[in-house]
Amino acid sequence: MYDNQNISNKIKSWLIILLWIGIIPATYRGYGNQFVLTYLGISMFLLLFIEKGQITINFTASFWKIFIGYYFLISIINIPNGYTDPKEIMNLVIKYIFIPVIIWLCMSNDYTQNKKTLVYIRNLLVFSAIYGLIEEVLKYNYLTKFILINDYTNEINTINNVGYQVTSIFMHYNYYGIALILCWILLCTIPFKSKIYNYLFRILIIEQLIICQSRISWIAMLFIVIVQFLEKNKAKVSRNIIVSLAAIALIVIFLPKLLNIITNSIFGKRFANIFQYGMLNGSVGQRLGTLENWPTYFQNNIINGVFGTGYQSIGNAFLNKYSYFSGYSTADNQLTIYLVETGIIGTTIAIFAMGNLLVKKIGKNSNLNLAFRLLILLIIIESTTLDVISNNIILILFYVLSITFLKESELFEIKKEKHEN
């Protein structure tokens, strides 16, 4: 019996790993959706065989279920209005239903087995960082020979005023930055047995995070490191205050020299345009300036502002008139996207969903609780300057980590109820 269960868990684990590995070439070759649908069919067949026809889905994130249901409903309603393209409904179902369902069903009810899955993901992300290092040295990404999608080929191997931006297997420096931070969280939560490996790979992650030059990832990493530091030093608050005051004093003393170093560093160069041009900077203006235009949109379109216009409708419902810069096809801001596509109602549900996840207890394991909160914090920060849902390669990573933690939370609640009864 144990051997059968062990084999079953291994198959499920590999179904998750192969889903992520498979989506990478499928996305870059232009058949991502076809791959997910085919994989869903194969996975369901194998799971039905393994579980002897007994499959149950008990997804615990209630607010997210309500949000997804609302997103789907408002998208269907807006098809006759011309806001939602019927073809995009399948994309919505794939991203918000099919992919998480596959991962949820493949997750074991045993965290020890799910931990092994996370170890595989951690190792693959470390490998992607090593590939990023090779790309950095060669200043060339060999995946360019493999890609057929113009959206990705336009992003890679970009030379700008601050030098080469490494993208590794993610083909966009912002998405690579997210992957590196996810790897950092996993390295801190499930470290290698060898301390040397842990130190080396953490150094590699930080080095690649700097080289990829994703400003929002730098900001996210800063917040995450601060939270980790505070969490691990709760008992040393008074000493930390003294150390912090001393650090502030040193910064003030050496501020002129420090500013000179920062200005001439890679960080200074990446933020220079923002400080110099503000909203006239294309990156900031499109992401934050477009969000600032939403209240005007709301005043002119109250019904749409309240209820939303449906999935992938932001282009024809909002950007063609309210984009901060003309010619942009994306808002590059998840909050703006949700405000337009799901309205105030859907966005409020999404905010409640994120808040609910932030306070959710993941068992008694303090490392898991911290890792889950860091994951949610990362998603929130990155969402301010990026459509984090659009990239299935990153989306699957988010789902794998969050569902692993939610599964553990579910098991913790079940054990708690049994103990109380």
Residue 10: its pLDDT value, please? 87
pLDDT of 361-394, one tens digit each? 776 677 888 899 999 999 999 988 888 888 999 9
Task: Please tell me the predicted confidence (pLDDT) of residue 158.
Answer: 47
Q: If you average pLDDT over every residue of the chain, what do you get?
A: 82
Least confident of 220-224, 286-290, 330-334: 286-290
pLDDT at residue 260 greater than cutoff 90: no
- pLDDT tens by residue, 171-196: 888 999 999 999 999 999 999 999 99
Nearest CA-CA partner of 369 in 397, 399, 408: 408
Q: Which of 416, 378, 414, 413 is CA-nearest to residue 397?
A: 378
Share of the chain above pLDDT 90, in %: 42
CA 8 and chain centroid, separation: 29
Q: What angle do CA 360, 60, 385 make, to 5 degrees?
A: 65
Task: Provide the residue type at 4 as one letter.
Answer: N
Check residue 68 and give its pLDDT.
Answer: 93
Q: What is the DSSP letter of 172?
A: S
Mean pLDDT lowest among 48-52, 177-181, 195-199, 396-400: 48-52
Query: If you count them, how many residues does the chain have?
Result: 421
Per-residue pLDDT of 99-128, as tens digits, reads 999 998 888 877 788 889 999 999 999 999
| 11 close to 72: Cβ distance less than 8 angstroms | no
Q: DSSP letter at 164?
A: E
* H or E stretch covering 163: strand 163-164
